[in-house]
Amino acid sequence: MKTFSSIYQLLATLSREQKLLSELFEKRKILSFSYDYALELVDFDADKISSLIDLSVVRQNGNNIELDDLFLQFFEQVMEVNEEINVSYINEHIESIRQNINYYLQENNEARKYGYLRQVKQALRKIGVIALRNVVDLSRNIDNTFKNEPNYKIKKTKLEHLDDKRNAIYTLINRTDHLVSGDEELTFFKVAADEELNRTIILVKLQLNECRHNLIDIQKQIIEYLNRIKHQSGVIEKLRQIKYLKDQFELRSKTNIRELLAENTAVIFEPNPSYPLQISLDQLQSDNDAADVISKVAKKIKTSVKSTQPLAGNISDEYLETRIEEEVQINLDEVKNSFLAGGNNLFDFICNYDFGKEVSFDECVTIYCQMISQFDTLFKITDNYNLKEDIEFAMVYPK
């Protein structure tokens, strides 16, 4: 296996293949990145890829190609997108600080002493940065897990796992704090304290403090998320059981749903109320709009059923047949004219008049009376009387 001989070579190689490497990095979540695609990205120069493989920048796995873990981790950490939270780094650094302090105290050579001191400072700075980054990663991962993990059980386990990580980070921060406060290595921090170390310690303490505050918030977040999941899955679990009982028709008998609902007085269970209020008569009479409304309503309630006029029955044909009945009427006017033209007295004239039919004596008397009552102005009624068939009558002449 070849290794890079200088940092220059490393940077040059990486920059030369930046297209391929950045593509590989972006697609790191996709399990298979085909060798053929990779070839296209390096202008079909297979040598370039094989040299990357030799330098173990990328790894070939069958027909697929992927970034080597070492570089992947490096990129992820530098770009702050790593998903794995590794607390062991801090632990290692704490150990190395302890060892270096030990060497420092035992070493007599000033120059080498200074070297150990430098390593201590370096490790301290790193601890601060790593702790801070871990906290950021943790919070991002928690958020991602809660929002994106579809499986409830896994989501819960993952969050619990992340909570453990949070605990671990918290413990490490406390240990580091303990260390830099000079409680353990009292001598070293008294003896070796120079300006730079003091500054570094203050910086680290500030960073750790920030981490602690963040962690408290993260803890709150995790608790809330876990509670929400618990509530959600609680609801689902409960629902499943209730639905089962309901489908078995046992829900009423085996649970307290009857009592529960009996106590429940929510309005939502009631049918929609209607409030049939009487209309104010005053308003109907005085309001102009009311007339429109009334005519509108009147139109609406017009029934579609047409009221039928009661019809009379057919007139029977019998009634329509023409029947002639003749009756001779005496035309008094005609009689008067004839009488006025003659000179006979009225009663005798009537008795002798040809009426066109048989006229009895009684009828003659009636006609006589009728004539006088109707036309008395045209007649001269004298005081002479005559007698005929036991009837005394006045003698009447035309004027």
Partner 1 sequence: MPVPKHTSDIFEILSKGQFICSNSCKDSTRKLYNIIDDNFDDLYDYFKSINLVLEKGDEYFMFTRMEHKTELERKLEAAFRWIDILDFFKTFDHSFGAGYRFTPSDVLVKLSVDVDLKNKLDGLKKYAAGKEKHAEILDKILDMLKKDSFIELENEITNSYKTLASFHYMERLIISVNIPESVQNEISK
Residues contributing to the site for partner 1 (CB under 8 A) = 152, 232-236, 238-246, 250-252, 254-258, 260-262, 264-270, 272-273
CB of 142 to partner 1, least distance (A): 17
Query: 189: how many CB neighbours lie within 10 A of its CB?
Result: 19
CB of 94 to partner 1, least distance (A): 41
CB of 289 to partner 1, least distance (A): 21
Query: 109: how many CB neighbours lie within 10 A of its CB?
Result: 8
Listed in sequence order, the residues at least 6 apart from 116 whose beta carbon sits closer than 8 Å to its beta carbon are: 100, 101, 103, 104, 107
> Measured between alpha carbons, how far is 361 from 126 in angstroms, rounded to an integer?
164
Please report, as a single letter, which amino acid is at residue 317. D
> Measured between alpha carbons, how far is 242 from 251 in angstroms, rounded to an integer?
7
Is the alpha carbon torsion for 128, 129, 131, 132 positive or negative?
Answer: positive
CB of 274 to partner 1, least distance (A): 10
The nearer residue to partner 1, 267 or 298, going by C-beta atoms, is 267
> Measured between alpha carbons, how far is 156 from 162 in angstroms, rounded to an integer?
10
CB of 156 to partner 1, least distance (A): 12
The nearer residue to partner 1, 237 or 376, going by C-beta atoms, is 237
What the block records as the tokens of 197 is 């170390």
CB of 221 to partner 1, least distance (A): 18
The nearer residue to partner 1, 265 or 316, going by C-beta atoms, is 265
The nearer residue to partner 1, 117 or 142, going by C-beta atoms, is 142
The nearer residue to partner 1, 74 or 152, going by C-beta atoms, is 152
The nearer residue to partner 1, 93 or 156, going by C-beta atoms, is 156
Question: Using an 8 Å Cβ cutoff, are 111 and 196 in contact?
Answer: no
